[in-house]
Amino acid sequence: MFSWRSILQKHDFEQKIDVAFDVPMKALTTFKIGGAADAVVTVHDPSAFDELLRILAIDNTPFYFIGGGSNLLVSDEGLRGAVVRLSSKTAGVTRLDEMTLQADGGLPLPKLSREAQQLGLAGLAFACGIPGTVGGGVYMNAGAYGGEIKDVLKEATVFWPDQGVKTMSADELALSYRHSSLMKTGGIVLSATFILKPGDSDAIGAEMTDLLQRRRDKQPLEFPSAGSFFKRPEGYFAGKLIDDCGLRGYRVGDAQVSEKHAGFVINRGEATCEQVKQLEQDVRTRVYETFGVTMQPEVRLLGDHWLP
């Protein structure tokens, strides 16, 4: 009897997907942490999803949809089953009308932001430095510097393993602070449609340059991280709470609260998932004991406990 691995290895997907086995997840996440996944499947053509999932179902093989890996912490033990992601190489942008762009789910958000700027369309400048994909951005309602995906999203085309493909309106996606309904229902965003506003290309470009410089000045981009580690508690700023507890620079092994921005947890070299989890628990405990505020991670943990 053939296993899902052997079938996946031999199956002819007509170049619609690429498959790699025993892939260290640290190579696929901006945190640079995580053991090996049994398989990583990169999908170039979503029409291959049905056949792919039929093969994975042979042994009830678990699978995980991920975007650009910018908001993930992966277990040191790795992931059993298959990690599935959309290709960025084949992803692009289509202009549907004067103010409407449709972007493939695997497209990096900075590329979408730049494309809109070059077309003289305003509304996506905030995404110029977010190191995620369009699909991941919709999934978690990504945002920065006062802008969020929900501000410009019209609808998204989503694939579910048990329902197939459906187009969901922004209202159906129920976007809120770092959240969408997809976090409960699952699904992978194949494409998203954005309604933008007319703008001056040079002015938008200048805004993007300013935002990128602010990121370089204020965020620890010189170290691997998953971006802002904790959600913003209502009425507070996560980084200030952590800083006011005297935890700026606090370390557990090579996992550290950034000295540059206390809202970030960085990997100083060889940080492990367990070290990050211990640091997260230490920070949560100290902040609660000091201010009575419960901190929640914005980062998703795969292969262990958290997840929304």
Successive 10-residue mean pLDDT values, the chain, 308 residues: 81 92 96 96 94 90 92 95 93 96 97 98 97 95 95 96 92 94 91 98 98 96 96 94 98 98 97 97 98 95 71
What's this model's pTM, rounded to 2 decimal places? 0.90
Residue 187: closest CA among 49, 45, 303: 49
Structure token digits, residue 256: 């550290």
- List active site positions: 178, 228, 298
Given this model, what pLDDT does residue 1 score? 45
Domains of the chain: 4-86 (3.30.43.10), 93-205 (3.30.465.10), 221-302 (3.90.78.10)
Given this model, what pLDDT does residue 307 score? 53
Pairing assessment for the beta strands 72-74 and 300-302 based on DSSP bridges: parallel
Given this model, what pLDDT does residue 152 score? 98
